[in-house]
Amino acid sequence: MTDEKPNDIPQASEKKKTKFNFLPVIGAIVGAIGGYIYYIEVGCTSGSCAITSNSYLSMLWGAAIGYLVFDMFKKRKHRRKSEI
């Protein structure tokens, strides 16, 4: 019996390095700024509007929308039909 490792398990040196995608984070920041601007320009002062009457909620929703919109633009590796 030999002490060989199976070939299907990736070794530590063979692991793929993944790059962090900053685009959604930038989108969240832009969305939060947009949400605050929306609160200043459009937000209601009476308190009857659940989102736009509070600056924090308006920024939170703006950040969520900005994150989702900017996340659509990340690069994806295309596979050939023979690899599928």
Report mean pLDDT in 10-residue bins for the chain, 84 residues: 58 66 92 94 82 88 95 72 62
- Domain range holding 49? 19-73
| Residue 80 confidence (pLDDT) | 65
| Residue 83 confidence (pLDDT) | 58
**Residue 81 included in any domain:** no
User: How far is 39 from 23, CA to CA, in rounded Å?
Assistant: 24
Helix (H) or strand (E) holding 5: none
Q: What is the tally of structural domains in the chain? A: 1
Nearest to 38 by CA among 69, 30, 83: 30
**Residue 5 included in any domain:** no
> What does pTM read for this prediction?
0.65
Any residues with CB less than 8 A from the CB of 23 and at least 6 apart, and which?
70, 71, 73, 74
